[in-house]
């Protein structure tokens, strides 16, 4: 049996995942047409369905953020987050297998970032890590009250987690650019 997770760690996971999905959601909302283009460019469904599917993804990501922030349906949010990440990863893997690596991943929405966010194995690894992190929210949580110092620790760790995610995202983008420069 899995020992219960300390609530401090559980809260760090919850709020970091909420922040990652919120960042992606804000970018997608800010560039809805670009996100629709990214969905269309995957060529996994009829082109006329791209606007509907893009809106559906935005709605589902908004549901994840809302549930994680509100504290309602947290298990469902964790499963939905993992499912979306898996679906995105499978879509990327299919296109990579087809030799279509130069399309925009659509991770943050704007199709104009195609040159810096082309499909690659690092994006798949990132999604696998985020799926695993989502799974931590399904673990039992130890019963203990959080102290004021715990709240400071959570806020600091979440800020650090989001900074680490942003840095990793930039490294993934740079890897694609460096590879092109070396060719």
Q: Where are the domains of the chain?
A: 7-182
Which residue numbers in the chain have pLDDT < 50? 109-115
End-to-end CA distance of the chain: 50
Cα–Cα distance measured from residue 13 to residue 11, given in angstroms and rounded to the nearest whole number: 5
- 156 CB-near residues (< 8 Å, 6+ apart): none
pLDDT of 118? 80
pLDDT of 108? 66
What does DSSP assign to residue 5? B
pTM value? 0.88
Cα–Cα distance measured from residue 133 to residue 13, given in angstroms and rounded to the nearest whole number: 7
pLDDT of 167? 87
pLDDT of 126? 92
Taking only the tens place, the pLDDT of each residue in 39-77 is 999 999 999 999 999 999 999 999 999 999 999 999 999
What's the gap between Cα 35 and its chain centre?
14
- 167 CB-near residues (< 8 Å, 6+ apart): none
pLDDT of 163? 94
């Amino acid at each position: 049996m899995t020992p219960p997770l300390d609530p401090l760690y559980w809260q760090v996971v919850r709020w970091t995942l909420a922040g990652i999905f919120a960042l992606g959601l804000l970018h997608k909302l800010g560039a809805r047409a670009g996100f629709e283009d990214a969905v269309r460019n995957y060529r996994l469904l009829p082109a006329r369905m791209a606007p509907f599917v893009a809106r559906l993804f935005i709605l589902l990501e908004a549901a994840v953020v809302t549930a994680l922030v509100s504290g309602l349906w947290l298990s469902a949010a964790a499963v939905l987050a993992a499912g979306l990440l898996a679906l995105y990863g499978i879509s990327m893997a299919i296109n990579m297998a087809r030799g279509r690596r130069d399309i925009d991943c659509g991770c943050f929405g704007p199709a104009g970032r195609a040159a810096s966010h082309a499909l690659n194995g690092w994006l798949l690894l990132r999604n696998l890590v985020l799926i695993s992190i989502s799974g931590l929210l399904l673990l039992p949580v130890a019963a203990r009250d959080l102290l004021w110092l715990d709240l400071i620790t959570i806020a600091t760790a979440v800020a650090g987690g989001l900074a680490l995610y942003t840095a990793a995202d930039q490294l993934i983008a740079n890897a694609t650019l460096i590879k092109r420069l070396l060719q």
